[in-house]
């Protein structure tokens, strides 16, 4: 990541049990819904998944167990704090109910107030699990809420509805600006709560800021530039971020011109079917995590040519890593080994 030429490009696999069901369905035989609800299962299988994946697959992860464990939250928890509802399938990870629109009228947006984070949405029951997990493992590891983040655009899109928000951007821009301002308030309140509760910094000139929004790619570059970028730039200035980016796990090509205007240090989610050559050329000095597009590891014979194309596009000069992305149970074990073998051999540079 310092643009020093390595022996080979680092390659990792996405088998952690925060979002991957590979071990649950193929090895452990437990229901994911049960894992979600039961703090003891959460601790056991988070640790077991990390340990087993380290034993089973020789990737370049520099640790066996990460520094923290904890209840699942992140991109599901945070929208519920803003007012969304979550769905809990018995044998799948939770997701946001997109059919429920918490802010379906202009009056509700006008009346909306930033909630007390500890009392809103799924946070109370998440904190109960947090305390139980801390009792189980707090003397060995840090306990933190797991599962990533969610930016203000995601909260706005889920509380208002994606289609409705896009329509509002064309027909009622003032309403969108009002909603985005309030969702930035929720986002800030969550960051402050995490800082005050667990010392997780979100400000500072040494911090690389990161706004993650699952529905980002639903919005055109023009709409993002008008209704999203100003709020993220303002928050980045407020926090004195050294560098920052906004991302999603989708093709980011339409936003390349916007990215050129942002002081990006790294892109964590550059999917392999993006225009990798353009990103490498236009964002000089930016570090990338390139991950293989979902489903591309299902067909064994195509893995080596795919990795070859990625390495050819990104080059061997350092500044990037190769990842499988989050793997689900449909991917055969031999294909994961084939991916690692291809990454290590095709990405080999030597002395």
pLDDT of the chain along its 351 residues, tens only?
Answer: 677 777 899 999 999 898 999 999 999 999 999 998 999 999 999 999 999 999 999 999 888 988 899 999 878 999 999 999 999 999 999 999 999 999 999 999 999 999 999 999 999 999 999 999 999 999 999 999 998 888 999 999 999 999 999 999 999 999 999 999 999 999 999 999 999 999 999 999 999 999 999 999 999 999 999 999 999 999 999 999 999 999 999 999 999 999 999 999 999 999 999 999 999 999 999 999 999 999 999 999 999 999 999 999 999 888 999 999 999 999 999 999 999 999 999 988 765
Strand partners, 288: 267, 320
Rounded to a whole number of angstroms, the CA Rg of the chain reads 21
| Maximal C-alpha separation, the chain | 65
Q: Report the DSSP beta bridge partners of residue 11.
A: 322
| pLDDT at residue 1, as a whole number | 67
Arch. (CATH architecture) of 67-248: Alpha-Beta Barrel (3.20)
User: Which residues, listed in sequence order, are joined to residue 287 by a DSSP beta bridge?
Assistant: 266
CB atoms within 10 A of CB 320: 26
Model confidence, pTM: 0.95
What is the spatial distance between Cα 151 and Cα 232, in angstroms, rounded to a whole number?
A: 9
Each domain of the chain, given as residue ranges in start order, spans 67-248
- 22-27 contacts at long range (C-beta below 8 A, 24 or more positions apart): 22/327, 22/328, 22/329, 22/331, 23/48, 23/49, 23/52, 23/53, 24/329, 25/329, 26/329, 26/333, 27/52
Token digits of residue 342: 């291809």
> Residue 294's CB: how many other CB atoms inside 10 A?
18
Could you identify the residue written with the tokens 């008008």? 226
What lies within 8 Å, CB to CB, of 79 at 6+ separation is 86, 96, 121, 150, 154, 155, 158, 159
């Amino acid at each position: 990541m310092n643009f020093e030429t390595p022996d080979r490009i680092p390659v990792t696999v996405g088998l952690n049990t925060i979002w991957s069901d590979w071990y649950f369905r193929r090895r452990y035989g437990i229901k994911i819904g049960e894992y979600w609800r039961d703090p003891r299962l959460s601790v056991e299988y988070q640790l077991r998944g990390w340990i087993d994946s380290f034993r089973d697959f020789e990737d370049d992860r520099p640790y066996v167990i990460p520094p923290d464990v904890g209840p699942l939250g992140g991109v599901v928890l945070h929208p519920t704090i803003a007012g969304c509802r979550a769905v809990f399938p018995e044998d799948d990870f939770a997701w946001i109910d997109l059919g429920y629109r918490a802010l379906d009228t202009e009056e509700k947006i006008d009346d909306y107030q930033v909630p007390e984070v500890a009392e809103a949405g799924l946070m109370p029951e998440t904190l109960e699990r947090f305390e139980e997990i801390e009792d189980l493992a707090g003397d060995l590891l840090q306990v933190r809420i797991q599962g990533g983040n969610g930016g203000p655009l995601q909260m706005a899109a889920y509380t208002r509805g994606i289609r409705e928000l896009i329509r509002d951007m064309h027909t009622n821009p003032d309403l969108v600006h009002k909603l985005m301002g309030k969702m930035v308030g929720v986002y800030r309140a969550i960051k402050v709560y995490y800082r005050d509760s667990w010392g997780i910094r979100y400000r500072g000139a040494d911090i690389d800021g990161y706004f993650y929004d699952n529905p980002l790619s639903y919005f055109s570059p023009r709409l993002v530039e008008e209704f999203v970028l100003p709020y993220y730039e303002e928050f980045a200035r407020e926090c004195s971020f050294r560098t920052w980016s906004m991302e999603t796990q989708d093709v980011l090509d339409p936003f390349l011109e916007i990215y050129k205007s942002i002081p990006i240090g790294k892109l964590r989610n550059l999917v392999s079917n993006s225009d990798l050559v353009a990103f490498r050329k236009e964002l000089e000095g930016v570090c990338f995590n390139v991950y293989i597009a979902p489903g591309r590891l299902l067909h064994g014979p195509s893995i080596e040519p795919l990795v070859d194309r990625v390495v050819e596009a990104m080059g061997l000069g350092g500044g990037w890593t190769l990842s499988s992305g989050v793997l689900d149970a449909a991917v055969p074990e031999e294909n994961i080994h084939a991916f690692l073998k291809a990454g290590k051999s095709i990405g080999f540079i030597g002395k």
